Structure 1
Amino acid sequence: MNTFLVGAIRHPGADSSVDGGTDPLSTFADLELGGKVLVSAELVIFNRTVQYHPLCLMLHIDSSPSSLPAPSKCFGRESVVADIIQRIDNGVQCLAITGAPGIGKSAVAKDLIYHDTVASHFRHCRLWVPCAEAMTFVGFCNMLLDSIWGPSLSARLLGGRYSLSPRAIESHLAAAVESLLRSGPRHLLVLDDFDAIWGRNDLRRDVEHVLEILLQAPHLTIVITLRGTRTPAVVQWTKEIDPLPLQAAQWVFLSIHPVDDGSLIDLLLAVDCVPLTVTTLAFAGRARNWAPSDLLAIWRAEQKLLVDLRLPHHRSFEGELIRLDPDAKKLLSILSVLPGGVSTAELSNLAADIQNVYEAVGQLSSSSLAQLPPNGRYQLLSPIRAYALQYYKIDTPSRQSLYTYYFSRIKRHGSRPGDVAFRAAARYFIEEEVNIYAVLESALEQGCSIAIEAAVENSDLLSCTRPRVDIATKAVALARKLSPDNLLSQCLQWLAESYRAVGQLPDAQCILEEALSEYRRVGDRSRAAQSLQTLGLIRYQRGDKIAGILKLEEALEEFRLLRDAPREASCLLSLGEKYFENDRSEDARISFQQAMSQFKDTDDRGSRAQALHHLGRLHASKGHLDIARSQIDEALKTYRELDDRAAAANCLMLLSHLYPDINEKRSALEEVLSEYLNLGRRLDAAFAMKRLAPLYTAQGRYEEALALHKRAIPEFSHFVFVYAAAESQLDMGLLYLKMERYHEARLALEIARQKHVIHGDRRRAAIAIVNIISCLLHQGDQDSALSLLETHRGDIEEFFEVEVAQP
C-alpha cells in the first residue's frame, strides 16, 4: 500500500468556502472497491494557490502500474534510452521524444519506463497516458486523473466530471497532483502521442497551462512523445529519433521472419529502416511466405504496398497532410519522387514555381513529414513517400521540369572512362544515384523516349552505381515499343551487364545473345564483337570454361578482321587472364606480350601498362616476386602519369598481396579504397574494406575497423555476395566482443548466425553461437548461456572438436 494525498475534491452542491456546504467526507463515506473500504477519516490541510477546498483525503490504494502498456523489445535504441535516463538523472523535468510517424517514439518511451534503472528509481510511480485516445481538452485532463488514481476510483471521486467545465477539471487536476506529489516519492509521467491533443491549435494554450501546473510539482518528471519540432515551451530537452541502425533493423525483421535470401538489406534500405514499416513487412512476409526479394520486388513495382497494408502510422500523418498549405503539398509531391532527397541549394531549382519554397519546406520539417539528415538533403521517409505517391501525385508540369533538370545535368556530366572529366562525373552519379534512377524509372513509365537515350548514353557512368535490373528491364520494354533498333540493342546490352553485375548469369547470357543478334541484324559488327567478348566472359563465369574461351577467341578474330587494334588487344588481355586461370601459363604469356606489342604500335601507354600488370601477376604466381613487383610498379607509374586512377587502384590491390610489411599493405589498401570509392566501384571497395579491416584490428584501430565492416556488409548484400556479407557480419561481431561491447556483439553475432544457417555454413554458425554464449556469460546471464549451449551442443562439439584436432 502507498499513501496518496488527493485534494480539491468538491461535493456536488457544496459552497466554495471551507466552512460552507456539505462535509466533503460524506461524498466518499461509502467508497469501496470489491468490498474493501478505500477511504479513511483522516484530514490533511495544506497551503496552495489554486481555488476550491483546501481539503485533502488520505487515500490508501494499491498503486501497482497496471495502466502501463505491455513491455516490448526495442532494438537498436540502447544509446537513445541511456541518453534520456542521463537527462532525467541530471534534473531535466520535462523531456520530449520527437520524430516521424512510425519511427519508434512510443517504443522508446516503453523501453524507458521498463528500463531497470527507471523501474528501480520510480517503482510504482510510473504513469502512462495514451493521449491519442483523448478527443477533447476535458478528456485529456480526465485521462491524467485516471492515470493518477485509476479509472474506477477517479470516476467515483469526481462523479459527473465529464460534465464539468475545463477550468473546473483543470483545478481538480492541479490540486490532486500537487497533494499527491507533495506527500510521495518522485513520479514519472509519460504523455504518449501527445501531438494528438497538442496538434489542436484551439487547445494548445490550455494544454500548455496544464503542463505548467503539473511541473509546479518538483518531484514530477514528464516525458512526452510527439511528431514534429513544435514542442511546448515548458520542454527543457528534446531527443529526435532517427531510423533504426541497419544492424538493428535486420534483427527486428529476422526475429519475426527469419528469412534472408540476400535481399534483406536492400529491402530495409528501401524502406529507410523505419521500425514500424520493417515490422509490418516482416509480419506480411511471414503470413504470406514472402522472402525479402519478393517484398522488395513488390515494393519497387507498386509503391502503394505500404498503403495497402494499412499501416497504423498512416492515420497519424493524414491529419498533418490535410493541414498543409498548397505550396507545401506541392513540394511534398516533388520530394515523393526523389527518394534521395534534395539539398537546400537545389530546392529553388526543382520547385521554381513555388513562391516561398523555404517556408514550404519549413512546414514539412516542423511536422516531421520531411527530415534533414546529416547529409543535408531534405527527404521523406518511406511510409510518407509511399502515401504521398498514392494520394498527392506530382502534377505534369512539375514532373516534366524534373525530367528536364536531371537529364540536362546527366548530359552535362556525361563522359567516358579515360576522359579527364570521368571521375568528377562518376562522383556526381554516385551522389545523385537514387534520384537519377527514380527519375529514369518515372520517365520510362511515362513512355519518355529521351529517358532511353539518357540511359544508353551514360551506361558507363550508370555502371559506377548500383545495378538496377528493374529499370534496365523497363528501358528494354519501352525500346521494343518505340522500335528504335539501335537503342533496343544498346538497352539489351545494358540489361545484360546489370544482370551480370548482380550475379544472374543465365539471364545475362540470354539477354546478351539477343543483343548480339540485334547488332548483327542491323550490321553493327563492332558492337557485335564486343557483345561476343562479354558473352565469352559470362560463359566462362558460368563454369563453361572451354566454351567461354572459344567465344573470346571468336571475338578476337572478328576484331582482327575489323582491324580494330585497341579492341583486339583488349580481347587478348581477357584471353590471357583465362589462359592464366587454367594453368596455360605459356599461352597467357604470349597473349599478354602480343597485347603489349599491339598497344605499343598504337602508342596506347595505358593499355600497355595493363598488359605489363598482367605479366607481373603471372610472374608473382610463379614465385618470381622481384620481377613481379618491378613490372607492377612500372605499370603503376604509367597509370599515375596518365591519371588512370582505376587501373592504379587495381595495381595497388595486387601489390598489397605482395608487400611483406603490414604498414605497406595498409597504406596500399587505403589508397585502393579511396580510389574505388571515388570511381563508384562499390563492390571492389567492399572487398578492399574487408581486407583492410583486419589490418586495422591488428593495429588496435578498432573503431575504424568497425566502420569498414558496417560499410562493406550492405554492399556485399546488394551485389548478392551473400557469403562475403555473412563473413563480414561475423567478423564485426567478434570485433565487438574484443572491444567488450557485449550487447552489440550479441546482435551482430546473432545476425551472422542466422545468415550462415540460411547459407548452410554450419561451422561458422557454430562459431557465432560460441561467441554469443561468451557475451551472455560476460553479461552475467548464465541461464541464457546454458540454455543456448544445450540447444546447440551437437554443432558446437562437432565443429570445435574438428578445430581442436586440426588447428
Structure 2
Amino acid sequence: MAEFRLLGEVEVLAGGDTANLGPARQRCVLAAMAVDVGRVVPVERLIDRVWGDDPPVRARAVLSTYTSRLRHALTALQAGRIVQRAGGYLLEAGKNAVDLHRFRELCAQARAEAGDDEQVVTTLTEGLRLWRGEALTGLHGDWVTVERNRLHEERLAAQYDLIDSQLRLGQSADLIAELTMRTANDPLDERVAGQYMLALYHSHRPADALKHYQRTRTRLVQELGVEPSDNLRQLHQRILADDPALSPPMVLGASASTRQPDPRVPRQLPADIPRFVGRDRYLVALDELSTLVTGAGHPVVITLDGAAGVGKTALAVRWAHRAGHRFPDGHLYVNLCGHVPQPPMKPADAAAALLGSIGTPADQIPSTLDGRSAMLRTALAGRQMLILLDNARHSDQIRPLLPGTGNLVLITSRNQLRSLTIREGARRVTVDTLDAEESEQLLTQSTPGSAGIDETVPQLLQLCQGLPLALAIAAERAAREPAAFPMERQYALDVLDSGDDATTDLRAVFSWSYDALSADTARMFRLIGTAPGIDISVPAAAALADVDTARARHLLDQLVATNQLHHKRPGRYQLHDLLRAYGAERSAEQDSPEQRSAAYRRLLHWLLHTAFNARPHLQASDSGLVPLPAIADIAAPAFVDQRHMLEWSAGERHNLIAGVRLAYDEGFDDLCWQLAYATWPALFLASAWHDAQDMYRLGLAAAQRCGDQTGQAHMLDGLGNAHRFDRRHLHAIEAHQQAIALFSDTNNVRGCALALSNLGASYRDVGRYEEALACCRKAYALSRECGEPGTMAISLRRIAETLTADGQPMDALPAGRQCLDLYREVGHLRGEATALQALAGVHFSTDRPETAIDHYRAAASVYRGLGDRRRQASTLTRLGECLSRTHRTGESREVRQQAMKIFEELGAP
C-alpha cells in the first residue's frame, strides 16, 4: 500500500521504494492535493496554494506540467493516481494512505476514548509516531506557512492531551525530562507549566513545583504584563495545601473500575452537521484567528455573517467541534433567535442561560442585565472556553454577553455587526455561497442512492446558485418526487419548502430578514428584485427608486449590512437569484403595476442617456442622429475620458441587454429601439456580435410595432454592422440596403451617409471593391454636405482600406492621411488609432515597412492610453507580423509575447 507523507518531508513510498517527486513547487502541488485526498481540488485553489499572490503568467499550463510529471511518478510505483476532473484535479488514494489524515483520525479516536486514559495513550502515541519533523519540510509559500502552523498546533494539542492522560495514569516520573525541555522551549506556555508542576508534585518534589510556578509568574509579569491564569494559580494553591485530590486517580496497570471520571464541564455544542462540504478557506481563517486567544488578556470575538441559508451555523458548529479540544473548560451555546418567527432573545435572558450553564444556581443570578453581565464576566475570568452565540440580531444583543478576559466568542448573524468590530475589535468573516463543485457534492451527499437525481443535478445547481439551505431542500424534494419537481425560476420559492418546518421553507427564512428592514430599505430591495440585469450601480439604483445618490448609497449599504445584497465589486451591488425572486414576489404584493412601470421607465431613461453619453467616445459621427426623450431629476453621468467609458460599458453591458428586453416586454417601443442603438459601444467593445444581433432585432420589432421608420432604419443599419463583424456578409449587405432605403424615404441625409459607409465596408469584405468605393465616396460627399466630420473620416478610412485591398495602395495614401487629419482635428483619439492602423497597412503595401511599424506602434500607444487593452493587443499582433516580415525576429517575438500576455489576462483566445 502506498504511503503519502506530509508530516515531515513530502514523500511517497510504495513497495519499499520512494517516488521521485521533483522540485519543491512540484512537491507542493502533490501536498496541495493530498490534504484534500479523495476530493477534487479546483485549479484556482491549487494555483493559490502553490504560488499565492504571485502565480506565473501561464500558471495553468505550468500546473498541468507538474501534475503530468507527478502522475508518471505515482504510476511507476503504483501509488494512487491523479485524475483530472472538471475544474480541477483529484488525488485518488485512501485517506489512511496520507499520514496527515491518519494522524487526524487517531486524534479524533482519542477524543472519543476520553475517560479511558490507557487507550488514549495508545492511540495518541500511534498518531504522534507519524511525525518525522516539521510538516511540509522543504516547501515554502503563504499556504504552506499557514498549513504548517495549523498542523503544528494540532500536533501540540495531541502532545498535551497525551501528557494529561499519562499524568492521570501516574507516569509523572517518566515525563519530567520531556516536560523540562518543553518548559525551556516555551516558558510562557501555562499549560506546559501546569503539567510540569503536576509531574514534579507527583514525583514528591513539591518545592520544585512551587519554584517553577514562581519562575513562570515572574516571566509572565515581566514579559507580558499579566498574572498567571486562574487555572495555574489554583494549581499553585492546591500544591501549597497538599490537596489529596491532586494525586493520580489510578496507577499504571490499575483496573478500569478504579478510575475516577473528569469533573463535568459544559459541552453544549449542537451535533455536527453530517452533510458538510468545502468551506476550507473559512475553517483555515477561523483556525488562524483563534490562535489569538493564546496569551490574550481580552476575549477574542469572531463574527460569521452571511445571507439567510448560506450555512453560517453549520460552519460555526463544524469548526467548534474540530477545535473544541483547545478549550478544556467547556463549550457554551445559545441560540439568540435573531431571525426566527419568535422575538429575539433578550440579552438578560441569554446571560442567565450562560450563567446557569456554568453552574450558577438560579437563586444567585441577579435580576438586572448589568448584574448578570458582571457576574458572567467574573465567572468566565481565567477560563479557556468556547462560547458560540448563534443567530444574533444586533450588536447590543451580544455586548453584555462578552467575557472580560480570555475565552473565544464565535457569533453567527445575518447582519454584519459592524459596531462590534469598531468597539470590541471583533474579527469579521463573511460567508459566501458554495462554488459549483461544492454545491454538486452537497447535492449528491444529500441524496445517496436516489434514482434519477443525477439527471436533475445541473438544473438544481442552476436553481439554487450555491445556497446550502436551498440545495438541501431541493435535493430532498427532488429525491422524493423527481419527475414532478419543477425547475423554472419563477417557481423556485414554491418548491424550496420541505412542507413541515418554517426553518426549511426558503420563503419563510427570507421573510425574517426582510421584515426587519425599514420601509425605504425594503422598497429598495423590492425594486432591485424586479430590475433588469445581474447587478446595479448606485446611480442606477437612485434612478430606479427616485432618490438622490446619497440616499441610494445609504439604502444599498443597509441591505449589504444585513447580507441581503452583495457588494462584490466597487460601486456595484448584486442580489442572489433566489433573493431576487423573493424581492420580485414582495414587489408584486406591495407595489402597484403603475409604481413598477414608473420605476422601470426611470431606470431605462437613465441607462439610455448614460449610454448615449458613451457613444461619442467610440464613434465620432453620432451627434444628433437619434432624438432622446427628456428626463427629469435623473443625473446621467458624463464621461471624462474613454477609459471611464470603457469601465462603464463593461460593467453595464449585461444590464443594457436586459434593459432592451424589459423595454420590449413592457411595450416601451421608443425606449426599446433607442436603447438598442445606444448599447452598441458596450457590445462592440466586448465583440458580443450575437448579443448585438439579438438587440437590434428586438429594437427593429419595437420600431415596427410603433411605426417609427427612423427607428427601423437605425436598427437595420446596426443589425448590418453586427452581421458584418460576425462574418455574415450577405445578411449585412441586405440589412444596410434596407436601412438606406428607409433613410432615403424619410429624407435623413446623415443617416443615409452613415449607412452607405457601412454598406461600403460590407462590400469591401466580400471583394466587391468598385461597389465599396462608390458607396464610401457617396457617403463622404453626403456627410461633407451636411457637415458631419465623423462620417467623413469613417468614409475616408474605408476608401483607403478598400483601395489597399484592391492593390492600389498609392491611391489610398491621400484618403488615409486626410482621415487621420480629420480625426485629429475633431480630437477623437479612438478614430485616430483606427486611422493610424489603416495608414500602417497602406505603407506596408507600398514597401515602406518602417513607416508602417511606426504607425502600428503609435496606434497601440493610443489604445493603451484609452485603456482598451483588447485592441492594444490586436494592434501589437499586427505590429509583430510586420516586424517578422522585415526579419526583426527578436522584436517580433517580444511584441507577440506582450500581446499574448494581454489576451491571457483578458481571458481572450
Answer whether contact 1:321 1:329 (CA < 8 A) is retained: yes
Partner of 2:599: 402
Partner of 1:797: none
Matched, 1:228 2:228: no
After TM superposition, the structure 1 = structure 2 runs for residues 17-32 of structure 1, keeping only pairs within 5 Å, are none
After TM superposition, the structure 1 = structure 2 runs for residues 275-314 of structure 1, keeping only pairs within 5 Å, are 275-276=467-468, 298-299=488-489, 302=490, 305-306=492-493, 308-310=495-497
Matched, 1:241 2:430: yes
- Please tell me the residue identity of whatever aligns with 1:369: Q
Answer whether contact 2:860 2:876 (CA < 8 A) is retained: yes
How far apart are residue 607 of structure 1 and its match?
2.2
Matched, 1:606 2:790: yes
Aligned partners of 2:789, 2:760: CA distance in 1, in Å? Answer: 19
Aligned partners of 1:701, 1:224: CA distance in 2, in Å? Answer: 53
1:592-631 residue CA offsets vs partner (Å, 9 max, x unmatched) = 4454455455554322321232244346657888987885
Structure 2 unaligned residues grouped into runs of 5+: 1-109, 116-167, 172-197, 203-230, 236-242, 250-259, 367-371, 445-457, 498-503, 627-635, 640-644, 881-891
Aligned partners of 2:511, 2:567: CA distance in 1, in Å? Answer: 21
Matched, 1:577 2:761: yes
Aligned partners of 1:575, 1:601: CA distance in 2, in Å? Answer: 19
1:85-135 residue CA offsets vs partner (Å, 9 max, x unmatched) = 544445573322323334564576589679xxx98x978989988765989
Identity %: 16
Q: Which of 390, 397, 400 pairs up with 2:585?
A: 390
Partner of 2:691: 502
Structure 1 residues 584, 599: closer, same or farther in 2, change over 3 A? same
Q: May I ask how many residue pairs the two structures share in their alignment?
A: 578
Q: Which of 238, 262, 278 pairs up with 1:74?
A: 278
SS of corresponding position for 1:224? strand
Partner of 1:319: 512
- Please tell me the residue identity of whatever aligns with 2:302: L
After TM superposition, the structure 1 = structure 2 runs for residues 461-480 of structure 1, keeping only pairs within 5 Å, are 461-465=678-682
SS of corresponding position for 1:502? helix
Answer whether contact 1:673 1:689 (CA < 8 A) is retained: no
- Please tell me the residue identity of whatever aligns with 1:460: Y
How far apart are residue 502 of structure 1 and its match?
1.8
Q: Which of 209, 212, 236 pairs up with 2:403?
A: 212
Structure 1 residues 669, 82: closer, same or farther in 2, change over 3 A? farther
Answer whether contact 2:493 2:506 (CA < 8 A) is retained: no
How far apart are residue 672 of structure 1 and its match?
3.3
Aligned partners of 2:858, 2:283: CA distance in 1, in Å? Answer: 39
Structure 1 residues 537, 689: closer, same or farther in 2, change over 3 A? closer
Aligned partners of 1:190, 1:319: CA distance in 2, in Å? Answer: 25
After TM superposition, the structure 1 = structure 2 runs for residues 74-223 of structure 1, keeping only pairs within 5 Å, are 74=278, 78=281, 84-89=286-291, 93-103=300-310, 105=312, 167=365, 181=384, 189=386, 191=388, 194-196=389-391, 198-199=392-393, 204=398, 208-209=400-401, 211-212=402-403, 216-217=406-407, 221-223=408-410
How far apart are residue 668 of structure 1 and its match?
3.7
After TM superposition, the structure 1 = structure 2 runs for residues 326-337 of structure 1, keeping only pairs within 5 Å, are 326-337=519-530
SS of corresponding position for 2:403? helix
Answer whether contact 1:129 1:143 (CA < 8 A) is retained: no
Aligned partners of 1:104, 1:110: CA distance in 2, in Å? Answer: 10
After TM superposition, the structure 1 = structure 2 runs for residues 383-782 of structure 1, keeping only pairs within 5 Å, are 383-391=578-586, 393-396=589-592, 399=596, 402=599, 405-406=602-603, 409=606, 418=621, 451-465=668-682, 501-502=690-691, 549=733, 566-600=750-784, 603-618=787-802, 632=816, 634-644=818-828, 647-648=831-832, 650-651=834-835, 668-669=859-860, 671-672=862-863, 712=906, 727=909
Answer whether contact 1:646 1:676 (CA < 8 A) is retained: no
Answer whether contact 1:693 1:708 (CA < 8 A) is retained: no
How far apart are residue 638 of structure 1 and its match?
1.7
1:58-108 residue CA offsets vs partner (Å, 9 max, x unmatched) = 646999999544585537x74x66655544445573322323334564576
SS of corresponding position for 2:515? helix
Structure 1 residues 579, 398: closer, same or farther in 2, change over 3 A? closer
Q: TM-score, normalised by structure 1?
A: 0.50
- Please tell me the residue identity of whatever aligns with 1:610: I
Aligned partners of 2:827, 2:783: CA distance in 1, in Å? Answer: 18
How far apart are residue 229 of structure 1 and its match?
2.6
Aligned partners of 1:598, 1:48: CA distance in 2, in Å? Answer: 98
Aligned partners of 2:471, 2:876: CA distance in 1, in Å? Answer: 34
Answer whether contact 2:306 2:413 (CA < 8 A) is retained: yes
Structure number with greater CO (CA < 8 Å, separation at least 6) is 1
Answer whether contact 1:556 1:568 (CA < 8 A) is retained: yes
SS of corresponding position for 1:212? coil
- Please tell me the residue identity of whatever aligns with 1:320: S
Aligned partners of 1:403, 1:90: CA distance in 2, in Å? Answer: 50
Q: TM-score, normalised by structure 2?
A: 0.46
- Please tell me the residue identity of whatever aligns with 2:428: K
Aligned partners of 1:584, 1:71: CA distance in 2, in Å? Answer: 66
1:494-536 residue CA offsets vs partner (Å, 9 max, x unmatched) = xxxx99642767x977996x789879xx6x7776666666676
Deviates more, 1:651-660 or 1:136-145: 136-145
Structure 1 residues 230, 286: closer, same or farther in 2, change over 3 A? same
Answer whether contact 1:68 1:128 (CA < 8 A) is retained: no
Partner of 1:777: none
Aligned partners of 2:837, 2:476: CA distance in 1, in Å? Answer: 44
Aligned partners of 1:586, 1:128: CA distance in 2, in Å? Answer: 86
SS of corresponding position for 1:228? coil
RMSD between superposed Cα atoms in Å:
6.9
Partner of 1:759: none
Matched, 1:375 2:570: yes
How far apart are residue 651 of structure 1 and its match?
4.2
Answer whether contact 2:660 2:699 (CA < 8 A) is retained: no
Structure 1 unaligned residues grouped into runs of 5+: 6-38, 147-153, 182-186, 259-263, 468-497, 678-684, 714-723, 728-807
Structure 1 residues 552, 401: closer, same or farther in 2, change over 3 A? closer
1:336-383 residue CA offsets vs partner (Å, 9 max, x unmatched) = 445745649986994669x99999777655433355565346765544
Answer whether contact 1:249 1:278 (CA < 8 A) is retained: no
How far apart are residue 314 of structure 1 and its match?
5.2
Structure 1 residues 279, 587: closer, same or farther in 2, change over 3 A? farther
Structure 1 residues 131, 619: closer, same or farther in 2, change over 3 A? farther
